[in-house]
Amino acid sequence: MIAALLKAIDKDRKLQSKLNATKKWGEISHHELGVLKELTILLQPFEDATNDLQGDYETTGNVIPCYLDLLNKVSVTIKDSNGKLYSNPACPFPSQIKYCKPIASVLKESLTRRLSYVLRDTFYVLGTMLNPMFKKKWISKSGESDWAVVAAVKAELEMRAQQLQVSQPNSTEKNDCAPICAIASNEASQLYSTLLDEPSENQSGSTSAAVIKEFDTFLNEPLSSMRELVDPLKANGQTKPRSHYNFGKTTPIVFQFWR
C-alpha cells in the first residue's frame, strides 16, 4: 500500500496537493515522504523472502541464505574494531537510508534474536549445503569456517548412511538395478537375480564412503541457478524454480538423506 501511494505521487505530482487539501490530518511533509520511501526499501527484501520461502518447491536450503541476505540488507552500518560506525559494504542501499536507520537496527536485532539458530540447526545446514545454488557459498558470510562446516556435514552424512545401511541393507545396490528389475513380473522376480544383484560386501563403511565421494563431487561442481524454462522450446522464455529433488537425480545417494 505504501509503495502504491508513493508510485502514484511520483506519477502525479498534483496528487500530494490534493491529499493535503483535505487538511484533516495535515500535510504530508518532505520528512514523512522520505520515511515512507525508506520503509519500502527496507521491507521489500522481507516480501521477497516471504514469497520465496512459501514457493511451491523445496525451500529448506534457502532458509540460511535468506536469513544472511536479510541480515546484510538491514545492516546499514557496521562498527570497526574501534567502535566507529561506517557504511556496510555488503548492504546494497546504505546511501538510500537516512531517516530509518533506527528501524533498520531494530529489524536486525529482531532477525538475529529469532533466526540466528538456523546457523546451528543440522536440518537447515544440511539443506543449504545440498542446495546446488549455494553449497559452500554462504559459509564465509556466516562467520563460520569452511573446513569446520564441511567436516560437520560429512560426519552427519556418514552417520545417516550407516543408519540407512542398518535399516535397509544393500539399499544402494538394489536401487541401482531397480529400473531393469521392474520390467520383470512379480512371479519372475528372482530370475536373473544372480546377474543383476550385486553381492553384499558386508562392510559397514561401503555406503558411507560412496556418500562422501558423491558429496565431494557435488561440492566441486559449478553452482546452479536452480531455474529452468517453463517452455523448453523457448530459449529466451520465462523461467521457473527447478526442483532440488529433480536435480538430485544426478547425485541419488547424497540427496536421499535430505528428504
Query: What pLDDT does 56 receive?
Result: 77
Query: What is the structure's pLDDT at 161?
Result: 85
Judged on CB neighbours under 10 Å (0-12, 13-18, 19+), 183 is exposed
What pairing do the DSSP bridges indicate for beta strands 85-87 and 239-241?
unpaired
* Residues paired with residue 88 on neighbouring β-strands, in sequence order: none
Measured CA to CA, the distance from residue 128 to residue 132 in angstroms comes to 8
pTM here is 0.72
Cell numbers describing residue 228: 529452468
pLDDT in the model for residue 113: 96
pLDDT for the residue 160: 86
Cα dihedral across residues 70, 76, 82, 83: positive or negative = negative
Strand 77-79 with 239-241, pairing:
unpaired
pLDDT at 246: 60
Residue 103: what pLDDT? 94
Contact 94, 222 (CB under 8 A): no
d(CA 35, CA 247): 44
Strand boundaries in the chain, DSSP class E:
77-79, 85-87, 227-229, 239-241
Q: In the structure grid, which three cell numbers stand for residue 49, read together?
A: 523472502
pLDDT at 183: 39
pLDDT of residue 181: 38
How confident is the model over 210-241, as pLDDT tens digits?
Answer: 888 888 988 998 888 777 777 877 888 888 77
Residue ranges, the chain, pLDDT below 70: 1-2, 4-27, 168-205, 243-259
Q: How far apart are CA 59 and CA 251, in angstroms?
A: 18
Give the pLDDT score at 66.
94
pLDDT for position 150: 94
Give Cα separations from 154 to 15, 39, 151, 211, 253 (angstroms).
60, 42, 5, 9, 13
The domains of the chain are located at 1-8+30-120, 145-259
